[in-house]
A and B are shown apart, each in its own frame.
Chain A
Amino acid sequence: GDSVTQMEGPVTLSEEAFLTINCTYTATGYPSLFWYVQYPGEGLQLLLKATKADDKGSNKGFEATYRKETTSFHLEKGSVQVSDSAVYFCALTATSGTYKYIFGTGTRLKVLA
């Protein structure tokens, strides 16, 4: 079945460091891919998305490129801030006629001042 695998956290970085959070997926067809972010005490909110191969999603300095050949959608940011501390979820929706989102297990990011 469809699945999403994320790197385990926590990831701890100093402010202004470069961030990569790895995400790979298994899916039939051509899924859409998403990154959601959950700040402490809040619900998840969409960070960025990509709907087809080679698309790049970007928002708030974060980027991720849909790589069909490596079935990956890694999240990157060039310079993290303390305010980026949160849990990040990679997710996909299948195109095979399902209502489901498949979420990864989440990666906690902690940015130190």
Chain B
Amino acid sequence: DTAVSQTPKYLVTQMGNDKSIKCEQNLGHDTMYWYKQDSKKFLKIMFSYNNKELIINETVPNRFSPKSPDKAHLNLHINSLELGDSAVYFCASSQAGYPAGPYNEQFFGPGTRLTVL
């Protein structure tokens, strides 16, 4: 069974469109994350939810909106897509987000490669 799954794996779309990426974890973890990885492999955290509560909200355009319907799901909605949004987006989860510590191994999904044309 896949621990952290994301859909879709690839997403190609036009500038200005709105799109969503879905993430689900079956590990029973309390905390989920969204990261953006650029073409140079730099990994930047965007958001984190703990038990459906937003706990990390980095400097991200408000075109990006996370939604957590339950603690096993964290979706990412992006409005008015721009060329600069092209990247690989990773979802991750960990057992306990607070306090972050030695037992908080993060489990990553396979990534969603977003290409904005």
Q: Which chain B residue has the least Cβ–Cβ distance from A44?
A: B108
The answer on a CB contact under 8 Å between B48 and A99 is yes
Given contacts A99-B56, A108-B41, contact A93 B90 (CB under 8 A): no
Number of chain B interface residues as a range: 20 to 34
State how many angstroms separate the Cβ of B89 from the closest Cβ of chain A: 11
Given contacts A94-B100, A97-B98, contact A87 B41 (CB under 8 A): yes
State how many angstroms separate the Cβ of A35 from the closest Cβ of chain B: 12
Number of interface residues of A (CB under 8 A): 27
The answer on a CB contact under 8 Å between A43 and B108 is yes
- Residue numbers of B with Cβ under 8 A of A are 4, 31, 33, 40-43, 45, 48, 50, 55-56, 90, 92, 97-102, 104-111
- Residue numbers of A with Cβ under 8 A of B are 32, 34, 36, 38, 41-46, 49, 51, 87, 89, 93-101, 103, 105-106, 108
What are some 18 contacts across the A-B interface (CB < 8 A)? Answer: A36-B106, A41-B110, A44-B106, A44-B108, A45-B107, A46-B106, A51-B102, A89-B43, A93-B102, A97-B99, A98-B99, A99-B55, A100-B56, A101-B100, A101-B104, A101-B106, A106-B42, A108-B41
Q: Which 5 A-B pairs have the closest CB atoms?
A: A43-B108, A51-B102, A93-B100, A99-B97, A32-B102
